[in-house]
Amino acid sequence: MNMAKEVAIAAAYEAGRLTRERFGTLITYDEKDDHGDIVTEVDHLAEAIILRKIQRVFPEHRIRSEEYGENDLNSDWLWLIDPLDGTNNFAVGLPLFAISITLLYKLNPVLAVIYEPMTDRLYVSSEGEGASCNTHPITIDKAKDFKKARVGWIQGHALQNQERAVKLRHYIDVNTKRMMRLWAPTLQWCMLARGDLDGIIVYNSEGEDLYSGLLIVKEAGGVVVDYDGNTFTGMSPQPYLIACHPKFQNYFINMVKDGLQ
């Protein structure tokens, strides 16, 4: 695990340095689908850096990366890589993006590294060892009572304007102090982990960027449950999740139930 952490951190820093240097120079990008998701040359270059570093040290491990896909190896160890979470932001010159690297063992996240190049913030979390930002421990235990919450909304690309998603999103928007959609989910998870958001609602959004954030929030003292309040573990192809400080769990469960009625 120590070696895995060293490799992931080194890969995140190098990929992050590339994205920072290339920020603001992008001329063209490619549409990945009809739902607004895009890919740039920088995605591929950053991904190549991360893959090379991981495969050099752990050639027997499974890897699933956003652009590369899967290497189809048979292993209990699985790396999930999003080389540029927030590509849309990057493409339009908005400096909100991150590199996300997660290591799972038997489909449970055990290591998470998220690097935000433009602010030089490195978030690291290992199972059972807490979470940190630039080596300083972070926690959501400082959560304070509120009349209206600050909530991050994360929705799957392909859902677009699905009626049920729109209904819940609108309800959250008008019943909270702020509903935030950053186009870079890992940054929202980090905001929750350090106490700058009160909760996150995930509506069917599974991808390579999900599990790093989940682990960091859990290790920072948060809870992650489904809409019925059941503790979320492992992986899910269609996650509907609530993440927050434990004292706010019932508040957000009731909010989601009310929003879907």
| Token pair recorded at residue 210 | 């999900």
Average of per-residue pLDDT across 143-161:
87
> Which residue numbers belong to the known binding site?
66, 82, 84-85, 209
Instruction: Find the length of the chain.
Output: 261
pLDDT digits (tens, 9 = 90+) for 170-181: 999 999 999 999
Residue 11 reports pLDDT greater than 60: yes
| Domain 2-138 superfamily per CATH | Fructose-1,6-Bisphosphatase, subunit A, domain 1 (3.30.540.10)
What is the structure's pLDDT at 218? 98
CATH number at 150-260: 3.40.190.80
> Which residue numbers belong to the known binding site for Mg(2+)?
66, 82, 84-85, 209
235 pLDDT band (50/70/90 cuts)? very high
pLDDT digits (tens, 9 = 90+) for 163-207: 999 999 999 999 999 999 999 999 999 999 999 999 999 999 999
- The domains of the chain are located at 2-138, 150-260
Share the mean pLDDT of the chain: 94
Average of per-residue pLDDT across 42-48:
95
pLDDT digits (tens, 9 = 90+) for 97-140: 999 999 999 999 999 999 999 999 999 999 999 999 999 999 99
Average of per-residue pLDDT across 233-244:
96
What is the structure's pLDDT at 112? 98
